[in-house]
């Protein structure tokens, strides 16, 4: 996989896709918009326009295009070796990539291309259920917990998300999302409404059992498809540490299902799974290419510390240096901060829960970019905790 955005390949694939599925005029308009968005010259103008709005008439710095999923992948991994999955709605022509990370090297082992996008599928279901796509996906994930397995509904969802001929990759049937009339939504076609047999829920409509079961079916389809892809990567490489990046990686239920798999020893989900994480990776890659030096791994932000943890019994106890009592009503008033906290440039936080020792209960969390030391990665900040050595 090239590090740079491969617009030419995207353009090449258009006619191929359009020959495989019936494409109406509305879909062609969408395709043209998408291709225009990826045009390098248009992208330069876009950034210039917005940077000028924010920073004024400064000298416009050079831009270094970076393949979107490469950025997601480079921002990942506290592990020396890992199988990395980057998965989102779409990034350039990709919707998912499985990577082998070995030291500083990243090798794309398997690439899934537009239009087969689990991110777009989940966004479509989000909107179908009356929530805002690219925002309300967590509501679908939560709603799924109330759902039950409904074989008929699962079979219908299975017609939308299926398995590729290789038995490993997922395929998302475009006629349910892209190719066809979009009377109800820009994110799914009328054919999906016909398939599911009920009109999409409006935001103010009551949530009924059927909605919960649809959320369950969609969540399960996502988890099954991603698990198949990741486990292929684990078995192919023999590496049992897994990293997740890209917007779909915000689905913590999916991540937990991966982590629970016996073939996965440890899993790290990039906290910035969405495109802010890709931006970090792009900056790292540009630095690496221009200086030859790789910055230290970005394990945490030096000016943000997770702070000490406390026992649950000490959660509400005030530090002895303060006079306020540990009353419930006092919870919303932060305790007095030591003088260092008020110095210029310091940042302060206040914590109310999670504990390791009584003496650290409810202590302020302080940090300043110039003085704080880098935290070593801990199980809570870097990974989900890991398991014992591989069996
Ligand atoms: Fe992304």
Do 291 and 307 reside in the same domain of the chain?
no
Q: For residues 287 and 310, state if they share a domain.
A: no
Give distance in angstroms: CA of 48 to centre of ligand 1.
21
Q: Pull the structure tokens for residue 51.
A: 């940077």
Mean pLDDT throughout 327-343?
42
Contact status, residue 232 vs residue 98, Cβ threshold 8 Å: yes
Question: How many other β-carbons are positioned within 10 Å of the β-carbon of residue 9?
Answer: 13
Print the domain residue range for 368: 303-319+347-375
Least trusted range by pLDDT, from 135-144, 155-164, 248-257, 277-286: 277-286
Give 38 Cα–ligand 1 centroid separation in angstroms.
Answer: 14
Q: Which residues surround ligand 1, an ion (CB under 5 A)?
A: 88, 91, 246, 275, 278
- 246 versus 62: the higher-pLDDT residue is 246
Of all residues in the chain, the percent with pLDDT exceeding 90 is 45
**Residue 318: what pLDDT?**
38
Say what the pLDDT of residue 316 is: 41
256 and 307 part of one domain:
no
* Cα–Cα distance, 310 to 326 (Å, whole number): 15
- Residue 132 main-chain phi, psi, to 5 deg: -85, 125
CB count in 10 Å sphere of residue 17: 17
CATH number at residue 37: 3.30.420.40
Mean per-residue pLDDT for 351-378?
30
Residue 328 lies in a domain: no
Give 168 Cα–ligand 1 centroid separation in angstroms: 22
Residue 385 lies in a domain: no
65 and 20 fall within a common domain: yes
Q: Ligand 1 centroid vs 279 CA: distance in angstroms?
A: 9
| Mean of all residue pLDDT scores within the chain | 77
Domain stop point among 243, 265, 299 = 299
Grade residue 16 by pLDDT with cuts at 50, 70 and 90.
Answer: low
Long-range contacts of 326-335 (CB under 8 A, 24+ apart): 334/364, 335/362, 335/364
Higher pLDDT, 86 or 351: 86
Total number of domains constituting the chain: 2
Residue 137 lies in a domain: yes
| Positive or negative: CA dihedral 325, 326, 332, 336 | positive
Assess whether pLDDT exceeds 50 at residue 339: no
249 and 356 both lie in a single domain: no
Residue 70 CA to ligand 1 centre (angstroms)? 10
pLDDT of res. 36: 79
CB atoms within 10 A of CB 252: 15
pTM: 0.72
Residues 293 and 311 placed together within one structural domain of the fold: no
* Same domain? 261 vs 351: no
Distance 90 CA to ligand 1 centre (A): 6
| Rounded CA separation 249/224 (Å) | 14
Q: Each residue of 20-30: pLDDT tens digit?
A: 776 777 777 87
Average pLDDT score over residue span 206-232: 98
Q: 249 CA to middle of ligand 1, Å? A: 10
Q: Cα(388) to centroid of ligand 1, in Å? A: 32
DSSP letter, residue 204: T
Are residue 261 and residue 356 in the same domain, yes or no?
A: no
Say whether pLDDT at 272 is over 80.
yes
Residue 3 Cα, ligand 1 centroid: separation in angstroms? Answer: 15
How many angstroms does the Cα of residue 171 sit away from the middle of ligand 1?
19
Q: Which residue has the higher pLDDT, 319 or 132?
A: 132
Q: How far is the CA of 311 from the centre of ligand 1 (A)?
A: 38
- How far separated are the first and last CA of the chain, in Å rounded? 33
**10 in any annotated domain:** yes
Of 104-108, 207-211, 292-296, 321-325, give the lowest mean pLDDT range: 321-325
Q: 166 lies in a domain?
A: yes
Centre of ligand 1 from the C-alpha of residue 243, in Å: 15
Give the pLDDT of residue 387: 41
The whole-number pLDDT of residue 29 equals 80
Under 8 Å between Cβ of 106 and 84: yes
CA distances for 344 relative to 302, 335, 347, angstroms: 17, 19, 9
Please check whether residues 353 and 289 belong to one and the same domain: no
- Residue-wise pLDDT for 134-167, tens only, equals 999 999 999 999 999 999 999 999 999 999 999 9
pLDDT band at 35 (very low <50, low <70, confident <90, very high): confident
Q: Which of 3-7, 256-260, 297-301, 369-373 has the lowest mean pLDDT?
A: 369-373
Tokens standing for 227?
A: 């698990």
Residues 13 and 155 in one domain: yes
Measured in Å, residue 274 CA sits from the centre of ligand 1 at 6
Residue 16 and residue 46 in one domain:
yes
Query: Over 60: is that where the pLDDT of 381 sits?
Result: no
In a domain, 380, yes or no: no
Residue 365: strand pairing partners: 349
Mean pLDDT, rounded, for 323-346? 42
pLDDT at 225 over 60: yes
Residue 34 Cα to ligand 1 middle (Å): 15
pLDDT at 176 over 60: yes
In a domain, 3, yes or no: yes
Q: Do 173 and 308 lie in a common domain? A: no
The arithmetic mean of pLDDT across residues 211-219, rounded, is: 98
Q: How far is the CA of 244 from the centre of ligand 1 (A)?
A: 12
The mean per-residue pLDDT over the stretch 305-326 comes to 46
Q: Does residue 329 lie within any of the structural domains?
A: no
Q: What does the pLDDT average to over 6-33?
A: 67
């Amino acid at each position: 996989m090239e590090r740079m955005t491969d617009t030419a390949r995207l353009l090449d694939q258009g006619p191929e896709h359009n020959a495989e599925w019936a494409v109406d005029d509305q879909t062609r308009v969408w395709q043209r918009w998408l291709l225009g968005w990826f045009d390098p010259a248009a992208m330069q103008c876009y950034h210039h326009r917005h940077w000028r709005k924010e920073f004024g008439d400064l000298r416009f710095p050079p831009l270094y295009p970076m393949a979107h999923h490469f950025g997601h992948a480079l921002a990942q991994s506290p592990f020396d070796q890992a199988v990395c999955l980057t998965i989102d709605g779409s990034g350039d022509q990709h919707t998912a990539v499985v990577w082998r990370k070995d030291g500083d090297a990243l090798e794309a082992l398997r690439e899934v291309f537009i239009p087969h996008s689990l991110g777009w599928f989940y966004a479509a279901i989000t909107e179908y259920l009356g929530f805002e796509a690219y925002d309300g996906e967590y509501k679908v994930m939560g709603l799924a917990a109330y759902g039950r397995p409904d074989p008929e509904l699962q079979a219908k969802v299975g017609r939308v998300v299926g398995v590729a001929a290789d038995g490993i990759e997922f395929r998302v049937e475009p006629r349910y999302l892209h190719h066809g009339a979009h009377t109800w939504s820009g994110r799914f076609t009328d054919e999906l409404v016909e398939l599911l047999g009920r009109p999409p829920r409006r935001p103010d409509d009551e949530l009924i059992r059927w909605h919960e079961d649809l959320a369950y079916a969609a969540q399960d389809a996502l988890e099954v498809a991603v698990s198949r892809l990741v486990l292929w990567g684990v078995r192919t490489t023999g590496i049992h540490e897994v990293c997740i990046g890209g917007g779909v990686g915000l689905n913590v239920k999916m991540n937990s299902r991966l982590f629970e798999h016996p073939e996965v020893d440890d899993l790290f989900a990039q906290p910035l799974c969405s495109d802010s994480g890709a931006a970090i990776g792009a900056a790292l890659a540009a630095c690496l290419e221009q200086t030859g030096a790789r910055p230290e791994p970005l394990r945490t932000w030096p000016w943000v510390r997770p702070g000490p943890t406390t026992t649950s019994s000490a959660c509400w106890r005030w530090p002895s240096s303060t006079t306020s009592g540990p009353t419930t009503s006092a919870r919303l008033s932060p305790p007095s901060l030591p003088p260092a906290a008020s110095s210029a440039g310091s940042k302060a936080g206040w914590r109310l829960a999670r504990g390791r020792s009584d003496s650290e209960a409810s202590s302020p969390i302080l940090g300043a970019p110039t003085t704080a030391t880098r935290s070593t990665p801990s199980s809570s900040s870097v990974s989900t905790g890991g398991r014992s050595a591989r069996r």
